[in-house]
A and B are shown apart, each in its own frame.
Chain A
């Protein structure tokens, strides 16, 4: 029978099946961070269990780490406690750990692929919903809760029911000024935050094939914002080139054998999808969100919707609430909306390619005087490379703050937070109320668009500045 990429990876990891269809799924990689693991390690301790496969597990602290003056340690006591708890747990259970001061430290979803921990064909989990990012390599990668973190630590398996298959085919050639972020925002705008519920999305089509690995990671990263369990892309030569020479990837003969297998990881012709969505991005304008749900996407050339035009009662009530929270008026054009903060970072857009796109806009320009603009690389190694390429200098010359790696203002668990009422042009993935700080207002957009907004001091169509 013809199978999809998801079906193939799934089938290769079934350890056992129960009569009701629940499957015990083997997990190849478990990435652990400080926020969702303390209670899991506690659970192990209470029941006298150990970590089954320390050689399939790796831990790093990212959510709470300060992005300034790292040598000084963590000032906030609760953040410090989470990180020290992780350090104590990895020592006690023998889990490989990348320390906060190590150059390899960074956002868990950036360093997984960067270090070669995440590879095609694998099942990869982490106690964080944006684990879908690793699907860009052709892996089945999904977020789990703390109980499941404990379950994987103890058994290296998960009890799962198969997801449904969804294909999102993206046709056309992406125009200048647009990036992977604009593609995924357009997809979420089209199918909504529940559009992928119960499904694993496979992204395919000309526009996806043309993306580099960083772009593919950006697309898969936000699968969760479309409600999907995971997102993945069939591996190809681009993927194999990316993997070659990664520290923890197979080398030499082993790599050749692995590639031989990875080439079979494509959906067969005629494979069944429960849902298919097709869109053409050949004329896509840069995208931006106006509300407090990632599906509230409009082109930068567009306007804030008028709730009076919305038929569905729930949706209209939601729109009214969002406009009030975001301090926007119905029908107002997005371009020209004044911002206070620009944030370039997060597991969605903090790779070297993202920083290059932002630097291309920032080069030789100045951040508007009323704007606080911040660049937070996804890992210590991205930071080093950006410094070597001269990007850091472009940013600091333009008045951007140049920070250490971490989640930072994506969710404001560390000191990087919006103040109440501040409006932020952000390359992160969630614009929920209070996400970047209590009463902060978030507009999601691409790195180039965020850099453009920082310079103009307002949301602006980056194509005017190319």
Chain B
């Protein structure tokens, strides 16, 4: 996983509430067995017209946002499925930070596991950032994870909350599995005492 530290980039505004995972990446693109390549289908149904041509009105098709690395979104972003194809598609497109008033739980979790930073700010703060983002490439936003701060182009700074464990993992690009296996003894001990529980039979398929 790539480390996340300071990100200075163009932010794209997506002022829609309840953007679901089918909107981020429609189910018909889940057939891949790889993690990469999904960026081409990010927001497929919004980004392309029925005839397959790009929809010139969609934000990520406008020249000044094609390299956006930050997305400012509406509330309850990422609701719907647990599929990680949604963060993979965002990441593959180049989005590394999402800012919204709220996120759906599983999606929020999945972002961290893939090195994307989801930031929750108040509705008012998000509105202000949305306005900044609308001025395109002139408006670069700085996300400083260590300081837990977001700087607007006019110099205003918003701070945000983040779980210390997740912050450590993002900053260090650390892999959860490796961290967990350091506690392997605790798992073995737990299994030793739970193995005989009658309500936890072992699976054997015939």
CA distance A239 to B45 in the complex (A): 43
Q: Does B39 contact A (CB under 8 A)?
A: no
A147: shortest Cβ distance to chain B, in Å? 4
Interface residues of A in 217-236 (CB under 8 A from B): 227, 229
Output the nearest chain A residue to B79 by Cβ-Cβ distance. A193
- Given the complex, which residues of A lie within 8 Å of B180, measured CB to CB? 24, 151, 154-155, 157, 159
- Given the complex, which residues of A lie within 8 Å of B84, measured CB to CB? 36, 39, 145-147
Known A144-B106, A145-B109, A434-B27; further 7 A-B contacts with Cβ < 8 A: A55-B202, A57-B203, A78-B31, A82-B31, A131-B82, A249-B201, A435-B22
Q: Does B147 contact A (CB under 8 A)?
A: no
Interface residues of B in 148-206 (CB under 8 A from A): 163-165, 176-177, 179-181, 183-184, 186-187, 190-191, 194, 197-205
Measured CB to CB, the residues of B under 8 A from A are: 16-18, 20, 22-23, 26-28, 30-35, 45, 50, 74-76, 79-84, 87, 102, 104-106, 109-110, 113-114, 163-165, 176-177, 179-181, 183-184, 186-187, 190-191, 194, 197-205
Q: Does A156 contact B (CB under 8 A)?
A: yes
Question: 3 shortest A-B CB distances, which residue pairs?
Answer: A147-B113, A143-B82, A38-B33
- Given the complex, which residues of A lie within 8 Å of B197, measured CB to CB? 261
- Sampled A-B contacts (29; CB under 8 Å): A16-B186, A24-B180, A42-B34, A55-B202, A58-B205, A121-B199, A129-B80, A131-B82, A144-B82, A145-B84, A145-B106, A147-B84, A147-B110, A147-B113, A151-B177, A155-B177, A155-B181, A156-B191, A157-B180, A254-B198, A258-B198, A258-B199, A314-B74, A411-B27, A413-B27, A413-B30, A432-B22, A432-B80, A438-B28
Output the nearest chain B residue to A52 by Cβ-Cβ distance. B187
CA distance A413 to B172 in the complex (A): 37
- Given the complex, which residues of A lie within 8 Å of B183, measured CB to CB? 15-16, 24
Interface residues of A in 21-60 (CB under 8 A from B): 22, 24, 26, 28-29, 35-36, 38-39, 42, 47, 49, 52, 55-58
- Given the complex, which residues of A lie within 8 Å of B20, measured CB to CB? 293, 432
Max count, chain B CB within 10 A of own CB: residue among A20, A128, A145, A434: A145
Given the interface pairs A147-B110, A227-B76, A432-B80, the reply to whether A193 lies near B18 with Cβ below 8 Å is yes
- Given the complex, which residues of A lie within 8 Å of B30, measured CB to CB? 35, 63, 413
Q: Are B190 and A198 in contact (CB under 8 A)?
A: no
CA distance A354 to B82 in the complex (A): 26
- Given the complex, which residues of A lie within 8 Å of B27, measured CB to CB? 411-413, 434-435
**Cβ contact of A262, chosen from B26, B184, B199, cutoff 8 A:** B199
Q: Does A161 contact B (CB under 8 A)?
A: yes
B183: shortest Cβ distance to chain A, in Å? 5
Output the nearest chain B residue to A119 by Cβ-Cβ distance. B199
CA distance A24 to B190 in the complex (A): 11
Output the nearest chain A residue to B83 by Cβ-Cβ distance. A36
Max count, chain B CB within 10 A of own CB: residue among A63, A64, A314: A314
Q: Does A248 contact B (CB under 8 A)?
A: yes
